[in-house]
Structure 1
Amino acid sequence: MNNTVDQRAVTWTIFAILLVALNLRPAISSIGPMLEPIRTDLLLTNGQVSLLTAVPVLCMGLFAPAAIVFNRRFGLKPSIGFLLAVIGLFTLTRGFWPTYASLLISSFFIGIAIAIIGPMLSAMIKRDFPFRTASLIGVYSFGMGLGATLAAGLTSVVYANSGWPIGLAVWSALALLAIIVWVRMPTSNPAAPQHTKEVLPLSGSPWKNRKAWYMLLFFGFQSALFFSMLTWLAPIAIDKGMTVLAAGGVVTLMTAVQIVCNISIPMLFGRFPNRFVWVLIVLGFAVAGILLLMYAATWTVWPAAAMIGVALGGLFPIALLMPLDATDSADEANSWAAMTQSGGYLISAFMPFIIGLIYDQTGNHDITLLMFLAFIALMIVFAHLLQKNA
Structure 2
Amino acid sequence: MRSKSTQILLLFAIFAVALNLRPAITSIGPMLDIIREDLTLSNTQVSLLTVIPVICMGAFAMLAPILNKAIGLNKTMYLMLLLLAAATGLRLIVSSFSILLLTALAAGIAIAVIGPLLSALIKQYFPLKVAAVVGIYSFGMGMGATLSTGLTGVFYQKANYYLALAIWAVLAVLGMIAWRVSSKNPIAVKQAIGQTVKKGESPWRSKTAWSFLVFFGLQTALFFSVLTWLVPIAVTNGLTLLQAGTLLSSMTVVQIFMNIGFPIALQRFKTRTPALVGILLIGIVSIGFMWTEQPLLFSIGVLLMGIPLGGLFPICLLMPIDATDTAEETNAWTAMMQTGGFIIGGILPLFVAMLYDYTGNHQVTIFVFLLLFTAMLVLAIKIGRIPGKA
TM-score bracket, shorter-length normalisation: over 0.9
The structure 2 residue matched to 1:325, chosen from 322, 333, 336, is: 322
Structure 2: which amino acid aligns with 1:205? S
Write the mapping of 1:272-311 to structure 2, written as runs, cut at 5 A: 272-311=269-308
Partner of 2:39: 42
| Contact 1:54–1:352 (CA under 8 A) maintained in structure 2 | yes
Write out aligned runs for 1:222-371 (5 A): 222-371=219-368
The question of whether the paired residues in 1 share the 8 Å contact of 2:43 and 2:354 is answered with: yes
| TM-fit CA distance, 1:154 | 0.2
Q: Is the 8 A contact 1:47 1:357 kept in 2?
A: yes
2:182 alignment partner, SS class:
coil
**Which digits, 9 at most, give the CA deviation of each residue in 1:80-122, with x for residues without a partner?**
1110111011100001123211110000010000001101100
**Mean Cα displacement is larger for which, 298-307 or 68-77?**
298-307
2:182 is matched with: 185
Q: Find 1:118's aligned residue among 111, 115, 119.
A: 115
What amino acid is aligned across from residue 241 of structure 2 in structure 1? Answer: V
Structure 1 residues 120 and 198: CA distance shift in structure 2, 3 A: closer
Shift of 1:352: 2.0
Quick one: structure 1 residues 321 and 189, their matched pair in 2 at CA, closer, same or farther if it must change by over 3 Å? farther
Alignment match, 1:135: 132
Compare 369-378 and 340-349 and name the one that shifted more. 369-378
SS at match of 1:341: helix
Could you tell me how far 1:387 is from its partner in structure 2? 3.6
Distance (Å, rounded) in 1 between the aligned partners of 2:348 and 2:43: 13
Equivalent residues of 2:276, 2:384 under 8 A apart: no
Inter-partner Cα distance in structure 2 for 1:179 and 1:294: 43
How many residues matched?
381
Percentage identity across aligned positions? 43
Give the deviation of 1:366 after TM superposition: 1.9
In 2, Cα distance between equivalents of 1:388 and 1:300: 35
1:149 paired residue among 140, 146, 151: 146
Q: What is the alpha-carbon distance in structure 2 between the residues aligned to residue 282 and residue 198 of structure 1? A: 33
TM-score, normalised via structure 2 length: 0.95
Other-structure match for 1:74: 71
Code of the aligned partner of 2:103: S
Deviations 1:3-26 (A, max 9, x none): 9x8111010000000000000000
Which 4+ runs in 1 deviate beyond 4 A? 187-190
User: Is 1:172 the counterpart of 2:169 in the alignment?
Assistant: yes
Q: 1:219 aligns with which of 216, 219, 231?
A: 216
CA distance, structure 2, for counterparts of residue 299 and residue 380 of structure 1: 27
RMSD: 1.6
Q: 2:157 aligns with which of 153, 156, 160?
A: 160
CA distance in 1, matches of 2:172, 2:345: 25
Amino acid at match of 2:132: S
Q: Which runs of 5+ in 2 are unaligned?
A: none
- Please give the alpha-carbon distance, in whole angstroms, between the structure 2 residues aligned to 1:270 and 1:188: 31
Structure 1 position 264, deviation (Å): 1.4
Whether contact under 8 Å (1:58, 1:345) holds in the other structure is yes
Q: Which amino acid aligns with 1:146?
A: M
CA deviation after TM superposition for structure 1 residue 76, in Å: 1.2
**How many angstroms does 1:187 deviate by?**
6.0
Change (3 A) 1:47 1:336: same
Does residue 1:200 correspond to 2:191, yes or no?
yes
Residues 279 and 383, structure 1, Cα contact 8 Å, conserved in 2: yes
Shift in CA distance, 387/198, structure 1 to aligned 2, threshold 3 Å:
closer
From 8, 12, 16, give the equivalent of 1:11: 8
Check the 8 A contact 2:56/2:105 in 1, yes or no.
Answer: yes
Secondary structure of the structure 2 residue equivalent to 1:131: coil
Output the TM-score relative to the length of structure 1. 0.95
Deviation at 1:188, TM superposition (A): 5.7
Q: Which residue of 2 aligns with 1:62?
A: 59
The one-letter amino acid paired with 1:214 is S
CA contact (8 A) 1:214 1:383 kept: no
